[in-house]
Chain A
């Protein structure tokens, strides 16, 4: 099985699907000859040509608005927003249009597309190359939200997203784009949406993470293990619709939960997860659920490692939760 990093795995997924389905069109800023600022679409322009791998004007609203029109026509657009921080000019098209088309037209007009965008911090990008805006989109009925943590999942989830009938926001954790290689199955390989992965089974504390923070959670869970605390670590993979069953099953077993995300704490996705846990597993809880997240500040430049919920903050949260009486 070939070894790939996440960039290569996503590129491979796009190539596999574009060869299979001529309706697929990639559009975005610098996605053509350059292959994207992170080189995720490298080589696709040469293979599929300028009508399927399209460099657009510098306009996120125009990219998603025209992609919506393409989707209505029957194409399968895969627009790239260069950084998730730049998605806001397209917010109206995503939230008011793409997410609502099927519903508002009484089912006449599906508006299926996969919006790919690099997300998260850790690359010294300051405010505008680091944010994690998933909560805005999870909050919008009609959208699905995916965030892989490793190359194989990135490929499998992207293929599943492209074949899904609904619009998907595919957040790519850029901090781990090239962090390491893993085995990625060749050709067609699908990882189903809305299925979490139990990365490490355990009995005492449930730790929930996704994307780049999964590796910080792994580090923290390993440190906790040396303290004698046995954690169960869940990688959500699909954020919405979330795999509630896996979460609840785990929390019923452990009674204790720590949730990790980069986005600011207040009204972040962790808040929703804790509400769901309260609704479905309240009587099993033995400690208050804990969030380890980015602070409620804009994303900083120099102090980004103090902002991010890295292992140094996750580990003590696990210990405190495990020992809560």
Chain B
């Protein structure tokens, strides 16, 4: 067995041309649909960052530069497969069917937020979309994705789980636990590492002395794959292949998707403190949307006019959702005490009554704060 993994799977050249011996590997219809979705997530990043700067929402954590990595892999899932997200994959949640309005409600933490305003923005959950529940602790979803797949396997339920995590998460005990359990019990799981080069301000060389993240798979007896995460077709193809192989009894797969984070870690971060403008400028040239746009344009499947029209249309839709969500009131006080347990115990009933009787806090009910 070869223990160093040099090859990075690519389909598109940096200029957006199909490389020799490679194929698009999906219909034009699906490709364009994913492309539109990538633009939607990019626009959301721009809009949400802007309204965070205006103080209208508290936080946003986006996926600029990683749209191909997220959407290419999510699109490769079958309808019965489950997704266990990190916190950058709202594009995947929307692709799997959550209405944009619900996502924006989550950004405002208002009364219509499916998570009932209990978590900070971008900590959504989406059971109807076979999409897990976002938490902030790093890597915890990895072992959960493995456990879910394991339970399904023991029930002869032929689903596969895919879990997202960043390069930093490979340093967590959860990555080790998840990869180890996946390998030992051969669970039907894809471990999808979005290597964007940074864990907030800490670069990959501070996460590992391994030559690649993917090669860690060898130690766990699972299969490694490296792919260009800015290449939609490449990501889709390797994920599809991983799911097919796992479904046919193959080992779990660790995919390392290499991309660049074309923004700060989140709205709370300022990358200028630890990165040079020249570096960031160079990375912007790897923009997966620009690359796909060149590809579709060259094939006469996309025009500048279409691009602008789509941007305008999506922008309108986003603005409308923001406008509506921002007017929805805060969740009722009782929601703070519900769902801690299935049935509210006496001590929480007492505390709820005490809370209701107390004067309201300053700034009570201002959504987004």
Q: How far is the CA of A165 from the CA of B140 in the complex (A)?
A: 22
Measured in the bound complex, the distance between the Cα atoms of B147 and A68 in whole Å is 7
Contact A241 B346 (CB under 8 A): yes
Q: What 0/1 readout, one digit per residue, does chain B (90-131) give for beta carbons within 8 Å of chain A?
A: 000000000000000000000001111011000101110000
Whether the pair A66, B181 counts as a contact (CB closer than 8 A) is: yes
B118 touches A70 (CB 8 A): no
| Pair B144/A105 contact, Cβ less than 8 Å | no
Indicate which residue in A51, A69, A144 contacts B144 across the interface (CB closer than 8 Å).
A69
Q: Which residues of B contact A107 (CB under 8 A)?
A: 116, 338-339
Given contacts A72-B144, A92-B137, contact A106 B132 (CB under 8 A): no
Residue of A51, A66, A72, A103 touching B340 (CB-CB under 8 A): A103
Report which of B113, B142, B149, B178 forms a contact with A106, defined as CB distance below 8 A: B113
Please determine whether B347 and A241 come into contact, CB atoms closer than 8 angstroms.
yes
Given A103-B339, A141-B340, A166-B342, check contact A108 B127 (CB 8 Å): yes
- Residues in B with CB closer than 8 Å to A241 are 341, 345-347
A68 touches B143 (CB 8 A): yes
B147-168 vs A, CB cutoff 8 Å, 1 = contact: the mask equals: 1111110110000010000000
B146 within 8 A of A: yes
User: How far in angstroms is the closest Cβ of chain B from A37?
Assistant: 20
Question: Interface digits, A103-130 against B, CB 8 Å rule (1 contact, 0 not)?
Answer: 1111111100000000000000000000
Instruction: State the CA gap A65–B6 with chains docked (Å).
Output: 32
Q: Does B211 contact A (CB under 8 A)?
A: no
List of B residues within 8 angstroms of A51 by Cβ:
154
Residues of A within 8 A of B345 (CB): 194, 241
The answer to the question of B212 belonging to the interface, with a C-beta cut-off of 8 Å to chain A, is: no
Contact residues, A223-265 vs B (CB, 8 A): 241-242, 244
**Cβ-based interface call for A312 (8 A):** no
- Choose one: A57, A89, A108; the contact of B114 (CB below 8 Å): A108
Residue numbers in A under 8 Å from B347 (CB-CB): 241-242, 244
Contact status B346-A244, CB under 8 Å: yes
Contact B133 A165, beta carbon cutoff 8 Å? no
How long is the Cα–Cα vector from A61 to B119 in the complex, in angstroms? 24
CB-CB under 8 A from A244, the residues of chain B are 346-347
Q: Is A33 an interface residue (CB 8 A)?
A: no
A182 within 8 A of B: no
Q: Which of A62, A72, A101 meets B180, CB within 8 Å?
A: A62
Q: Is the CB of B174 within 8 A of A65?
A: yes
Q: Is the CB of B137 within 8 A of A96?
A: yes
Question: Smallest distance from the beta carbon of A134 to chain B beta carbons, Å?
Answer: 16
Which residue in B135, B173, B343 is a CB contact (below 8 Å) of A61?
A: B173
Interface contact A108-B125, CB-CB below 8 Å: yes
Q: For the complex formed, measure the closest distance between the CB of A72 and the CB atoms of chain B, giving whole angstroms.
A: 6
Asked whether B181 lies within 8 Å of A105 as measured between CB atoms, the reply is no
Indicate if B267 sits at the interface (CB-CB under 8 A).
Answer: no
CB of A73 within 8 Å of the partner chain: yes
> Interface code A45-56, partner B: CB below 8 Å = 1, 0 otherwise?
000000110001
Are A61 and B174 neighbours in the complex by a CB distance under 8 Å?
A: yes
- Tell me, rounded to whole Å, the shortest Cβ–Cβ distance linking B120 to chain A: 10
B309 CB within 8 Å of chain A: no
State in angstroms the CA–CA spacing of A141 and B351 once bound together. Answer: 13
B118, A67: Cβ atoms closer than 8 Å: no
Evaluate contact between B151 and A74: CB separation under 8 angstroms: yes
A142 to B180, CA, bound (A): 29
Does B145 reach chain A (CB closer than 8 Å)?
Answer: yes
The interface residues of chain A lying within 8 Å CB-to-CB of B173 are 61, 89
Could you say which residues of chain B place their CB within 8 Å of the CB of A68? 143-144, 147
CA distance A101 to B342 in the complex (A): 11
Q: A93-B140, A100-B135, A108-B127 are in contact. Are A69 and B340 (CB under 8 A)?
A: no
Interface residues of B in 310-369 (CB under 8 A from A): 338-343, 345-347
- List A289-324 residues whose CB lies under 8 Å from chain B: none
Nearest B residue (CB) for A276: B347
Complex CA distance for A178 and B281, rounded to whole angstroms: 69
**Which B residues are in CB contact (< 8 Å) with A75?**
151, 154-155
Most A Cβ at <10 Å: residue of B84, B140, B161, B180: B140
Contact of B133 among A25, A73, A109 (CB under 8 A): A109
Determine whether the beta carbon of A105 is less than 8 Å from that of B115. yes
Chain A residues near B181 (CB-CB < 8 A): 56-57, 59, 62, 66
Pair B118/A69 contact, Cβ less than 8 Å? no
Give the residue of A70, A106, A110 whose beta carbon is less than 8 angstroms from that of B115: A106
Known interface pairs A72-B132, A97-B135, A108-B133. Does A102 touch B342 (Cβ–Cβ under 8 Å)?
A: yes
Min distance, Cβ B345 to any Cβ of chain A, angstroms: 4
Contact call A69/B113, Cβ cutoff below 8 A:
no
Q: In the complex, which residues of chain A have a beta carbon less than 8 angstroms from the beta carbon of B147?
A: 65-73, 77
Could you pull out 19 A-B pairs where Cβ atoms are within 8 angstroms?
A62-B178, A62-B180, A65-B144, A66-B147, A66-B150, A70-B147, A73-B152, A75-B151, A75-B155, A92-B174, A93-B140, A96-B140, A101-B133, A102-B341, A102-B342, A105-B125, A107-B339, A108-B133, A241-B345
Given A57-B177, A61-B143, A102-B339: 4 more A-B contacts, CB < 8 Å = A25-B151, A69-B145, A241-B345, A242-B347
Q: List residues of chain B with CB under 8 Å of any chain A CB.
A: 84, 113-116, 118-119, 123, 125-127, 132-133, 135, 137, 140, 142-152, 154-155, 161, 173-174, 177-178, 180-181, 184, 338-343, 345-347
Query: Which are the 3 A-B pairs with shortest beta-carbon distances?
Result: A69-B147, A65-B143, A66-B147
